[in-house]
Amino acid sequence: MGNEPSHPALDPEDWSKLRQLGHQMLDDMFDFQQSRLEGPVWQPIPDEVRQGFQSPLPADIQTADQVYQRFKDEILPYSTGNTHARFWGWVMGNGTPLGMLADMLASGLNPNMGGGDQVPNLVELQVIDWCRQMFDFPEGSSGLLTSGGSVANLIGLAVARHHGADFDLRRDGVAAAPKPMTMYGSQEMHSSLDKAVELLGLGLNHLRKIEIDDRFRISTEALRRQLEADLAAGFQPIALIGCAGAVNTGAVDPLDELADIAEEYDLWYHIDGAFGALAYLAPELRDRLQGLSRADSLAFDLHKWFYLPFEIGCTLVRDEQVHRSTFTLRPDYLHEGARGLSGGKRWLSDYGIQLTRGFRALKAWMAFQVHGVELIGNTIHENVLQAEYLAELVEASPRLELLAPVDLNVVCFRYRPDELDSDKLDEVNEEILYRLHESGEAVPSGTHVRDRYALRCAVTNYRSRRSDFDALVEAVERMGKQIELEAD
């Protein structure tokens, strides 16, 4: 053994230097956040930057200042861009400056949120309970904060499968099912539900994708037909999945009617409300989600339409016993103590897949108190008004076409002037999307709506103003015309 080092190995040799760098980082990130009303939304990655990320495992040590400089030069300018006022691609939140600070505090404190008698656990339990109250779930419901909606859906469906099995599923697995178990949802379901059903061993064929009506909502008639056919054919229907805000168009299934059907057929009722559920916070929008609080499990994200930084989602479960018995597992080394740190009544590792968990609860706990549900609800309502405004701009333009009704905050549209052949439309619109991204003017994403290529804006952006949507429409028309000219 050599001499013992004069300071703990990974602590800084000179605290005052790291402190100074830390203050610099904080100032820089405030500047970054403050500047996100202007400048390019996204920028293509220069080749030399891309190559810089293929270097081998570092042998030579650099200073924190040097590596931070690389962050500023090579990482910060070439990120997703969802912090910007003109970002509406896929479904992403901006992240708040307060959330950024909370994540720093959480990382600095670095508690393990698997369990134990410590206040950070109480913070998460309180956040879950506040979520329960905000969605009018009954007292005694349980829940878990997750990495996002995908895992929130997986947990909800895992509880559903456990609940639906009248044999020892945990010991014997799905292979022991006397009849194949089936789940039901609309064709517009999010891909994370496909993945969940695959992982749960049910097989994708047993996730019945029911046809939709002209407003992209599940057809309850077709659903009933499928349920009856499956029962007659010897399947065991166990769960019904409702979409509160389908990812493609924002369509909301008839949630109340689905709750009735779930009762009638004795199905677990899971709602995927990744972004849409949050519209419940706006009194003006609540009617559109009638039936939401009747779910047995509800999955939603706080990093989309609650605007927190990634990652944070949540599953709420009406029946705490079923939730817990799906996941609880206590080997000797995780024994719950009578006293001391290993005490504490509720271990969050009993409610999900992870043992070690991060303190993502803190940013939500702070947001609930500093911003409040009312302000967030108002901001969500403003986003819906902005989506409706964009839809009006599209409908007012002779060169643009709306491709789906706007139920919440998602607008699907395309460039479609009279003179353009319809077989060219997909190609031209896809090209418009790339030019929007590459010029940094705006970031919608692309999708297909009833087999037509669509530019798609999901407005979960608290920084957007109406002028940003004016600019988008102007850019789409300008780029469309330009592409037509180039083709001539």
Q: What are phi and psi of 480, to 5 degrees?
A: -60, -45
Cβ proximity to ligand PLP: between 304 and 416 the closer is: 304
153 neighbors 272 (Cβ within 8 angstroms): yes
Q: How far is the CB of 223 from ligand PLP (least distance, A)?
A: 18
Question: For ligand PLP, which stretch binds (CB under 6 A), given 80-88, 105-113, 144-152, 315-323?
Answer: 144-152
Q: How far is the CB of 259 from ligand PLP (least distance, A)?
A: 19
Q: What are phi and psi of 141, to 5 degrees?
A: -65, 155
- Per-residue contact flags (x/-) with ligand PLP for residues 398 to 437, judged by CB under 6 A: ----------------------------------------
Among 274, 277, 278, 361, binds ligand PLP (CB under 6 A): 274
Give the end-to-end CA distance of the chain in Å, rounded to a whole number. Answer: 77
Q: How far is the CB of 312 from ligand PLP (least distance, A)?
A: 9
Cβ proximity to ligand PLP: between 400 and 410 the closer is: 410
Cβ proximity to ligand PLP: between 111 and 156 the closer is: 156
Partner residues linked to 181 by β-bridges? 236
Q: Which helix (H) or strand (E) holds 134?
A: helix 119-134
Among 91, 361, 393, 473, binds ligand PLP (CB under 6 A): 91
| Residue ranges in 304-333 that form contacts with ligand PLP under rule CB under 6 A | 313
Residue 310: which residues within 8 A CB-CB, separation 6 or more? 93, 95, 148, 303
CA distance 488 to 484: 7
Among 142, 150, 219, 461, binds ligand PLP (CB under 6 A): 150
Among 103, 301, 350, 407, binds ligand PLP (CB under 6 A): 301
Given the structure tokens 């590459």, which residue do they identify? 438
Cβ proximity to ligand PLP: between 181 and 241 the closer is: 241
Partner residues linked to 82 by β-bridges? none
Q: How far is the CB of 280 from ligand PLP (least distance, A)?
A: 15
Among 93, 148, 156, 185, binds ligand PLP (CB under 6 A): 148
| Residue ranges in 174-213 that form contacts with ligand PLP under rule CB under 6 A | 190, 192
Cβ proximity to ligand PLP: between 146 and 326 the closer is: 146
Does residue 156 touch ligand PLP according to CB under 6 A?
no
Cβ proximity to ligand PLP: between 278 and 393 the closer is: 278
| Residue ranges in 94-133 that form contacts with ligand PLP under rule CB under 6 A | none
Q: How far is the CB of 288 from ligand PLP (least distance, A)?
A: 15
Exposed/middle/buried for residue 38 (C-beta within 10 Å: 0-12, 13-18, 19+): exposed
Question: For ligand PLP, which stretch binds (CB under 6 A), given 148-156, 174-182, 202-210, 316-324?
Answer: 148-156
Does residue 249 touch ligand PLP according to CB under 6 A?
no
456 neighbors 445 (Cβ within 8 angstroms): yes
Amino acid at 108: G
3-state secondary structure of 165: coil
Does residue 441 touch ligand PLP according to CB under 6 A?
no
| Residue ranges in 275-294 that form contacts with ligand PLP under rule CB under 6 A | 275
Q: Token digits for 381?
A: 């309502």
Among 102, 207, 247, 428, binds ligand PLP (CB under 6 A): 247
Q: How far is the CB of 278 from ligand PLP (least distance, A)?
A: 11
CA neighbor of 131 nearest in space, from 320, 281, 345? 281
Cβ proximity to ligand PLP: between 237 and 250 the closer is: 250
Q: How far is the CB of 255 from ligand PLP (least distance, A)?
A: 14
DSSP alpha helix (H) spans, 200-278: 220-232, 255-264
Q: Token digits for 173?
A: 């697995």
Instruction: Give buried/exposed letters for 100-133 (b at 16+ CB in 10 A, else e).
Output: bbbbbebeeeebbbbbbbeebbebbbebbbebbe
CA neighbor of 313 nearest in space, from 323, 302, 304? 302
Q: Token digits for 193?
A: 């539900």
Cβ proximity to ligand PLP: between 192 and 429 the closer is: 192
CA distance 44 to 185: 38
Cβ proximity to ligand PLP: between 273 and 377 the closer is: 273
Among 230, 272, 350, 468, binds ligand PLP (CB under 6 A): 272
Q: Which helix (H) or strand (E) holds 280?
A: none
Partner residues linked to 185 by β-bridges? 209
| Residue 177 CB coordination number (10 Å) | 19
Residues in the site for ligand PLP, rule: CB under 6 A? Answer: 91, 148-150, 153, 190, 192, 245, 247, 272, 274-275, 301, 313
